[in-house]
């Protein structure tokens, strides 16, 4: 995959890279993608927790507990830089 950064955005990207200690654009972009992935996992985890709390139709089973724990571990595993 090839990504082109417009000239107008290059100063911003370079500033962010320097501020956060990234050595190249690819490393910086990967960190942004990982952050988005964590955000999505966290949102999915919170949604499932709220569904479990709000629903009398969703029985609290060992399988549900394990699924929630797995989601929580995946979200916690990737820490922001």
Q: If you average pLDDT over residues 51-62, what whole number do you get?
A: 75
Distance CA 48, CA 65 (A): 11
Q: Measure CA of the first residue to CA of the last residue in the chain; give whole Å.
A: 24
Q: What is the pLDDT of residues 61-80, one digit of tens each?
A: 888 888 888 888 887 776 66
Q: 33 φ, ψ to 5°? A: -65, -40
The reported pLDDT for the residue numbered 80 is 60
Q: Whole-number mean pLDDT of the chain? A: 86
Look at residue 40 and tell me whether its pLDDT is greater than 80: yes
pTM comes to 0.59
Tokens read off for 52? 């479990």
Angle at 77 between CA 76 and CA 81, to 5 degrees: 90
Q: Which residues 6+ apart lie within 8 Å of 24 measured at CB?
A: 17
């Amino acid at each position: 995959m090839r990504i082109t950064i417009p000239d107008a955005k290059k100063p911003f990207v370079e500033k962010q890279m320097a501020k956060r200690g990234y050595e190249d654009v690819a490393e910086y972009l990967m960190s942004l993608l990982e952050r988005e992935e964590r955000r999505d996992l966290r949102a999915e985890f919170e949604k499932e927790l709220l569904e479990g709390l709000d629903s009398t139709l969703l029985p609290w089973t060992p399988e549900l507990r394990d699924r929630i724990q797995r989601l929580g571990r995946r979200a916690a595993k990737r820490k922001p830089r």
